[in-house]
Amino acid sequence: MTGVVVLGTSGASAADVLAVARADARVELSDEALAALAASRRVVDALAAGPDPVYGVSTGFGALATRHIGPELRGRLQRNIVRSHAAGMGPRVEREVVRALMFLRLKTLCSGCTGVRPEVAEALAGLLNAGLTPVVPEYGSLGCSGDLAPLAHCALVLIGEGEAEGPDGDVRPAAELLAAHGLVPVELREKEGLALLNGTDGMLGMLLLALADLELLYRSADITAALTLEALLGTAKVLAPELHTVRPHPGQAAAAANMRKVLAGSGLTGHHQDEAPRVQDAYSVRCAPQVAGAGRDTLAHARTVAERELAATIDNPVVLDGGGVESNGNFHGAPLAYVLDFLAVAVADLGSIAERRTDRLLDRARSHGLPPFLADDPGVDSGLMLAQYTQAALVGELKRLAVPASADSLPSSAMQEDHVSMGWSAARKLRTAVRSLTRVLAVELYAATRAVELREGLRPAPATRAVIAAVRAAGTQGPGPDRELAPELAAAEEFVRTGALVAAAETVTGRLA
């Protein structure tokens, strides 16, 4: 466990979410947050004692909100919404996603706008700090009224029911795990079950995790594009700053600058073949900064949306500063769903252009002197032919994953919830797309480093040499006779995923944008 994150009333940062989700940082509640929780609870208690029906306090939920619930049934009402809404199906959601959504729900509770008691927030922090991760099935959220089913499975553990994974990785009944860690199940009171479920926390958590991963992958893509340009004896003149100043998209300028840094000092760039002189390189090489740059600008937009959501309080009803409790529609996931889908489109296109560069490296007719498929003895050896097949299959999947989930809506709750965002689905497919993009770039890296090594007599850029040395030390081999490629491709994937590729290049280039 590393670090401590202190939650107040003003929200959390993306770094806080990553620290809790991926580094198991400890969570503490500030005195300010505890005071705000107590103050808003007093408002709910006053309303609960009054005669007027208040949604979430003394009524049913969704299409059943017309029924007034008496005081003697309200504890049961809150338990029942957790139990009934824990209706997910399918494989388990990843531990980091569950920790992110739990932390983000806790962040909203600490805003003092949900009306739960301080002990409910403290109990949720206790689950995180004990390393207890509720078992959350993948299917169940429509991304509207919050990520209801996923959050319900988390709340179920809070009340001592359902299953959770302990810090040792074993899945056990929640009651056993709570007892083993000295934690007591929560007895829910008015509004508290609803407040634990009604947020966009799963969507936002997955968006923040994807943004962190994609920031690394876009830098990785600049490096693999530069290596391919070098291996194809292309020209680096198209990366000149003045060419990108005249089209002032910031992401494009950053991508071009990264490629320039990687290619500095190369002895391969600009060596056009005498028998087939090239005035221009192919689009997949020449337009690499434009495509990667557009994706970077998409990331910037998505980051803005995520930061706004991090500062938000998502609950229905919400306790306002003036002491009122009002219903609202802030749980609708449209803002997140749109950018999650937008990122999937950008990811698919980045994977697509990387695959086109790889294919060019392997095609004797377009590789400018490289052997077919970069094979040792073409015909006897197939070289990297099937590595490109795998890459093409991954890109095909990326294109399918780019179909927007947010353009669809299936009504629910007897038409009371008649328009939903499908943001959870958008987030799930983006996670798959990020994994696939990592593999696509790993194949380009594997092919480009082999191709550079086959350019005998020409000296690669210092950054390229650093990358080749590092990726070979990580478990890949250079040119040679055919061998099983899967283990080396897996090593290349890990090299990209962990940031080792970027780290190797940056030993020469300095920090890449």
Residue by residue, what is the 3-state secondary structure of 177-209?
A: HHHHCCCCCCCCCCCHHHHCCCCCHHHHHHHHH
Q: What are the residue numbers of the active site? A: 55
Taken in order 368, 373, 375, 379, the sign of the CA dihedral is negative
State the amino acid at position 375 in one-letter form: A
What whole-number distance in Å separates Cα of residue 316 and Cα of residue 182? 32
How open is the CA angle 97-157-306, to the nearest 5 degrees? 30
What whole-number distance in Å separates Cα of residue 158 and Cα of residue 174? 8
Within 10 angstroms of residue 90's Cβ, the number of other Cβ atoms is 11
Q: Phi-psi region for residue 323, left (φ > 0), alpha (ψ -120 to 50) or beta? A: left
CB contact at 8 A, 390 and 490: no
For 484, the token pair is 């099983």
Terminal-to-terminal C-alpha distance of the chain: 29
CB contact at 8 A, 3 and 24: no
Q: Is 304 exposed, middle or buried (0-12, 13-18, 19+ CB in 10 A)?
A: exposed
For 163, the token pair is 């299953």
What whole-number distance in Å separates Cα of residue 68 and Cα of residue 193? 17
Strands 133-134, 163-165: pairing kind: antiparallel
